[in-house]
Amino acid sequence: MPKAIIFLEDGVCFEGRSVTTVNEAAGEMVFNTSMTGYQEILTDPSYAGQIITMTYPLIGNYGVNGEDVESSKVHVAGFVVKEFAKTYSNFRATKSLLAYLEENHILAVENIDTRALTRHLRTRGAMRGIISTQDFDLRSLGEKMKKVPSMEGADLVKDVSVREKYIWNKEDAFTFKVAAIDCGVKYNILRILAKLGCQVHVFPAAATMHEIEAIKPDGLFISNGPGDPSAVPYVVETVKQFLGKLPIFGICLGHQILGLALGGKTYKLKFGHRGANHPVQDLIEDTIAITSQNHGFCVDAKSLNQNEIEITHINLNDKTAEGLRHKTYPLFCVQYHPEASPGPHDAMYLFKKFITMMEQSRA
């Protein structure tokens, strides 16, 4: 396999070898601490524009299948691991991870010291990076780096959102009609809402209030997604118009968008939260959940009006805001992923909370 170089914007380099035929890739270099779930990670639209480094040393041992995808395609810009499993074993698997990455034209690299790379990103912060199998000139790579866009200020939602409205479960009987603003929604969110009796109408991120109101929804859901929340003011403005009118539930980027719609601010975390083992405390229920997370931005709790808005969850690793609710309006949101699969199921109760909120609103 050809030699590959990882060149970071601070000039630090790592060498490995490519296991796919793609020659070059660029994006924000981040790391994920999950031991499983690589297929869900690859197809999560929230990872658009990012090169993922997996901290677990062996990836690919259970292959991939056609059922566990979280969107219609692979969204990551590149994939870095210590070692790829060359054989796979799982009764549900239909192909190897390497074959899957190749057919989706993803530059994948192994034989990287992922521990050293992760420690560097934790120390210096997530940063732009380039992977190349054909250009090893550091000066040339430095010039290319100038053209790699920063994640701050990047509107990646427009690249991953659905182009036209659709209904996820059109033929199923339902109790509630939910309008979902697609900022990069994961399929399992839609599956869970459908299972709980919701017919989900998925709208493009640029949908207007009037387009959403036309279906007479019982509730509004704001999905996860990639990029900087402050770079999607058009979504924020739409959400503002529904405050106090409908029950609203937001996840991940949806949480950040709600924070902005409520007058708060967001900021970029040093290296983000990406993994399946983040402890979060529910301050209302006084419980702790192990959660799956994937985000690089955060709502600034101090920027919110404390007379109207209550912080409901905090991350126990760094005390950042992980959830909020309005004291008067029927709305709440969380920064982590209660739908994550594979991953912990501790936070599944949040979907039922949304259902209860719609029941009370209808009554």
* Catalytically annotated residues: 252, 337, 339
Q: Which residues lie below 8 Å from residue 64, measured CB to CB, with a gap of 6+?
A: 39, 93, 94, 95, 96, 97, 100
CB 335 within 8 A of CB 323: yes
CB 200 within 8 A of CB 178: yes
- Give the distance from CA 303 to its chain's centroid: 23
Token reading at 360? 């009370």
CB 144 within 8 A of CB 25: no
Identity of the residue numbered 321: A
Pick from 98, 249, 89, 239: nearest CA to 178 = 249
Q: Phi-psi category of 83—alpha, beta or left, where left has phi over 0 and alpha has psi -120 to 50?
A: beta
Instruction: Please tell me the distance from the alpha carbon of residue 331 to that of residue 130, in angstroms, as a whole number.
Output: 40
Angle at 249 between CA 245 and CA 255, to 5 degrees: 115
In the chain, the N- to C-terminal Cα span, in Å, equals: 63
Instruction: Please tell me the distance from the alpha carbon of residue 44 to that of residue 223, in angstroms, as a whole number.
Output: 12
